[in-house]
Chains A and B, each alone.
Chain A
Amino acid sequence: MDYLQYLRKDKMPHIWCDGCGHGIVLKSILRVIDKLGWDKNNIAMISGIGCSSRTPGYVDFNTLHTTHGRGLTFATGLKIARPDLHVIVVSGDGDATAIGGNHFIHAARRNIDISVIIYNNYIYGMTGGQVSPTTPGGKKASTTPYGNPDTPFDISRLAQAAGAAYVARSTAFHVGKMDRYIEQAFTKTGFSVVEVLTPCPTSYGRRNKEGRGVDMLMYQKQNSIGIEQAKGKTAEELKGKYITGVFVDKEQADYRQRYDEVIKKASKLNK
């Protein structure tokens, strides 16, 4: 396929470092959009702030680069105003689950028809490698020089508990799976989340001696385990493993359907 038809060529080169996984996720998103044959005029891509959140600047859609953590709130207003648009939010782990954590769980609870792709690199890439809510315990960040004392969020489980209609996790290495999950998310009516584990060699890999981007991808390849295979395994056996797969895929009325009922009732009562 021709990726260039979706890219703003004059905005290249992009800001991402060599070996960064963010571009792999972007390509996957574009492959899915191409496969679905969506009209570029009907796509809105929205983000907060971060390396991952720079994605909208590079794609030829209606694009909105908002404030840190708040992409979902702008997306909520836009989706309600323009239900006909495909609204995609791209976000980092910090953007989505630290500063934007409250918006994330509430968007999931409302089951509003928005797809969120979270580029989870366990670190604040853009600001130089500070600890994030998904940094594993013990790992080093510029603000946890002695190792992270906290336990990380499991983003997919969080989305599941909050009520999302579709939740899946892939690594950046497993592009086939990633394509499939993103396609399922994009075609789902309701709130859909794809968490992609992606390497940040610059701000995370180097400090934690995990090598270059390629090394980090190879590590993902060797240490991923499907959600089905993970069942029945002990916590000890799953230590350091990435559990990937579809966590949730359910049909339920989305925000629009439920609010349209409100509109019906209100119009009758206020005749």
Chain B
Amino acid sequence: MEIPNPNIHMWQGNVACAEGAIAAGCRFFAGYPITPSTEIAEVLSQKLPAIGGNFIQMEDEIAAIGAVIGASLGGVKALTATSGPGFSLKQENIGFAVMAEVPCVIVNVQRGGPSTGLPTHSAQGDVMQARWGTHGDHPIIVLSPSSVRETYDMTIRAFNLAEKYRIPVVLLSDETVAHLTEKITIPDPASIEIIDRKKPYVSPEKYLPYQIDETDIPAMANFGEGFRYHVTGLAHDETGFPTNNPEKIKAQLERLNRKIQRNRNDIVEVETFETEDMEVLVIAFGATARSARRAVINARESGVKAGLLRMKTIWPFPDEEIEKIYKSVKKIVVPEMNLGQIAHEVEWATRREKPVVRVNKINGEPITPNEIYESIISQG
């Protein structure tokens, strides 16, 4: 008899997210139920206590992200998961995590909006909210998976980036990928790279929680480790205490943004498919990238040289990656389940040198390969 491989699973996207979180070392989840993200909470309510972790259903999404930040300050990797309406509620505290530089991961399984919208249908309308949902100039990292396996890997990556750069990371999934079930083989747990926050190596008296050094990423002491420092959402200086000094405020806010900008090559990931000799470039992400890939194959079969750039990282925006490959194409096709949030960025990144053809859908239905194919091959 064959011994079953323990790493082969039939998983739904949301299950892969929960499992990926555990593999990444997440031991705290706080959430509030909302379709189509709820399975993540349900799986973790079962799995986390079984490995000595903690799951808590909070009174709302604001409380959930608050608890996640609190747990992370206590040194425990923490996750929350939600969808549109709940993502809106979390924004103020996401800004707190950005400002106070507390690592955490927020999953937003996109559904149709605005408002209560289409709870059980797919959408990609939160691209800009994920970037700019909280007030003020701020950096953010947003990743978007296209498959179940990638949801697993990307959840781990989200934790690693959060820890490495001390920033909230948004995993921007969508109803289609989250509720898709696929057979996947996950990597051997021992082979998974896990990154933990940089610890201070100085004595508590010398510790500066927001020190500006050559890395731009200050070391992080957890509460209760003897460092007794102050954490606030107010503008603060290197010591962590509020300041009104314009020079100090400027220095900190510039570092905050710089720590992501200068590391964008480490953060931004794209996948290219058939782009070497392409005449038509398709740029897509999430569930839509699956249809886009099929459309590219079909277009090639009918003689049109199409290629695909699939964005795995959405923010920081992969402008340099697009820059490298768009010059020789005749046009760019951008399919997305919104009214052109990424297309607009693509126009900026390519200085409108090429026609950007939008394929948009906001009725809750996924974009089909054929709809993208039509735009690739049309001469108009």
Contact = CB atoms under 8 A, between A and B. Distances in A.
A78 B223 contact: yes
A64 B93 CA distance: 13
Contacts of B58: 73, 76, 106
B230 A63 contact: yes
B241 A57 contact: yes
Contacts of B227: 62
B228 A40 contact: yes
B140 interface: no
A262 B28 contact: no
Nearest to A85: B224
A103 to B, nearest CB: 6
Contacts of B74: 77-78, 80-82, 85
Given A103-B59, A106-B58, A64 B73 contact: yes
A62 B63 contact: no
A123 B8 CA distance: 60
A102 B54 contact: no
A65 B67 contact: no
Interface of B is mostly: mixed
Interface residues of A, number: 41
B50 interface: yes
A61 B228 contact: yes
Given A44-B224, A65-B231, A77-B30, A266 B70 contact: no
Contact of A76 (B63, B225, B231): B63
A60 B64 CA distance: 28
B66 A41 contact: no
B230 A57 contact: yes
A229 interface: no
B203 to A, nearest CB: 13
B96 interface: yes
A62 B241 contact: no
B141 interface: no
Contacts of A140: none
Interface string A68-109: 001011111111111011000000000000000011001000
A259 B63 contact: no
Nearest to B96: A67
Contacts of B54: 80-81, 259
Contacts of B73: 64, 74, 77-78, 81
B278 to A, nearest CB: 47
Contacts of B51: 267
B97 to A, nearest CB: 10
Interface string B194-233: 0000000000000000000000000000011111111111
Contacts of B50: 263, 266-267, 269-270
Contact of B66 (A66, A84, A266): A66
A66 B228 contact: no
Contacts, number: 142
B192 interface: no
B380 interface: no
B223 A44 contact: yes
A56 interface: yes
Contacts of B67: 73-74, 76-77, 80
Contacts of A262: 49
B68 A77 contact: yes
B345 interface: no
A102 B28 CA distance: 22
Interface string A249-271: 00000000001001101110110
Nearest to B28: A81
Contacts of A78: 70-71, 73-74, 223
B263 interface: no
Contact of B63 (A42, A64, A73): A73
Given A65-B233, A80-B54, A60 B228 contact: yes
B234 interface: yes
Contacts of B295: none
Given A70-B63, A81-B28, A269-B50, A75 B70 contact: yes
A4 B42 CA distance: 48
Interface string B34-73: 0000000000001101111010101110111111111111
8 contacts: A41-B225, A44-B223, A46-B70, A76-B63, A76-B67, A81-B54, A102-B59, A103-B59
Given A74-B66, A74-B69, A76-B67, 16 more contacts: A41-B226, A56-B230, A57-B232, A62-B223, A63-B230, A63-B231, A65-B232, A65-B233, A65-B234, A66-B69, A67-B66, A77-B66, A77-B72, A77-B74, A266-B49, A267-B52
